[in-house]
A and B are shown apart, each in its own frame.
Chain A
Amino acid sequence: KQEVTQIPAALSVPEGENLVLNCSFTDSAIYNLQWFRQDPGKGLTSLLLIQSSQREQTSGRLNASLDKSSGRSTLYIAASQPGDSATYLCAVRRGGADGLTFGKGTHLIIQP
C-alpha cells in the first residue's frame, strides 16, 4: 500500500526566505506526483505536476523535484511572501483510475 509522508508538519519562516518542503513515498511505481496548495475553508489548488519520467517542474517562484528511485520529492519556494501561507499537500498517482494518495500536508506560515 502506498504511503506518503510530508516533513515538516508545520513550518514558520520570515518573509523573504527560501524554503524546502519534503515529501516521501513508499512505492516508486507512480504515474505522477502533484503538489497542491490548500487555503483554510477552500478546496485544493494544483501547483505543479511532475510526470514519472520527469525530474522537475517550475512555475514562477516554485520548483518541484522528483527522485522516483528514492521515493522523494521536494517543493522549493523562493523569496517567500505572506501570501504563500497555506497548507501544502503532496500526492502521488500510481496509475490506473484510482486517483491520488495524499500526505498529511505541511502547514506553512510566512511571517511579515
Chain B
Amino acid sequence: NAGVTQTPKFRILKIGQSMTLQCTQDMNHNYMYWYRQDPGMGLKLIYYSVGAGITDKGEVPNGYNVSRSTTEDFPLRLELAAPSQTSVYFCASSPTAATNEKLFFGSGTQLSVL
C-alpha cells in the first residue's frame, strides 16, 4: 500500500530555474495539500485541493502553482526558483474534511535553490 508518494526526494536548483514536484496518492482521497517546512519551523500550507479541477491558495502561495487534473495527482510547480524557496516540501491527503479524518503525508522533497 503506497499511500502518498513524492518525487524527487532531493533536488538542487539554480536561481531562476523551474521544476515540478510530483505527488500521487493511491487512496482515492479527495483532499490534497502541499506544505513547506523551513528548518526549526512548523509546516506552512502552500496550496490545497478538494477534488479534481479545484484548487485554492494556502498561507504561502507566492512563487508556486498547482493543478489537479486527476484525483490521484497533485503536482506543485515552482517558477523562477529563488533561494527563499529552499525548504522541505510535503504533500498530504485526506478522504474528506470530516472531524475524524487524519492527514496522510508523503516522505517529502528536500529542495535547495543556489
For B108, give its contact among A32, A42, A103 (CB under 8 Å). Answer: A42
Number of A-B contacts (CB under 8 A): 71
For A34, give its contact among B4, B44, B97, B102 (CB under 8 Å). Answer: B102
**B42 and A89 within 8 A (CB):** yes
Bits for A79-112, please: 1 = Cβ < 8 Å to B, else 0.
Answer: 0000000000101010111111111110000000
Min CB distance A68 to B, Å, is: 12
A4 CB–B CB distance under 8 Å: yes
**B105 and A98 within 8 A (CB):** no
B53 CB–A CB distance under 8 Å: no
**A96 and B97 within 8 A (CB):** yes
When distances are taken between beta carbons in the complex, the residues of chain A under 8 Å from B41 are 104
A46 CB–B CB distance under 8 Å: yes
Min CB distance B16 to A, Å, is: 28
Give the residue among A32, A44, A103, A105 with the most B Cβ atoms within 10 A: A44
**A98 and B45 within 8 A (CB):** yes
Min CB distance A13 to B, Å, is: 21
Bits for B23-47, please: 1 = Cβ < 8 Å to A, else 0.
Answer: 0000000010101000011111100
Interface size range on B against A: 20 to 34
Minimal Cβ-Cβ distance residue in B for A90: B42
B residues 79-113 in Cβ contact with A at 8 Å: 90, 92, 97, 99-100, 102-108, 110
**B40 and A104 within 8 A (CB):** yes
Min CB distance B6 to A, Å, is: 8
When distances are taken between beta carbons in the complex, the residues of chain A under 8 Å from B4 are 43
In Å, the complex CA distance between A45 and B106 comes to 9
Minimal Cβ-Cβ distance residue in B for A103: B42
Minimal Cβ-Cβ distance residue in B for A98: B48
A49 CB–B CB distance under 8 Å: yes
Given A103-B42, A104-B41, A32 and B100 contact (CB-CB distance below 8 Å): yes
**B45 and A99 within 8 A (CB):** yes
Measured CB to CB, the residues of B under 8 A from A are: 4, 31, 33, 35, 40-45, 48, 50, 56, 58, 90, 92, 97, 99-100, 102-108, 110
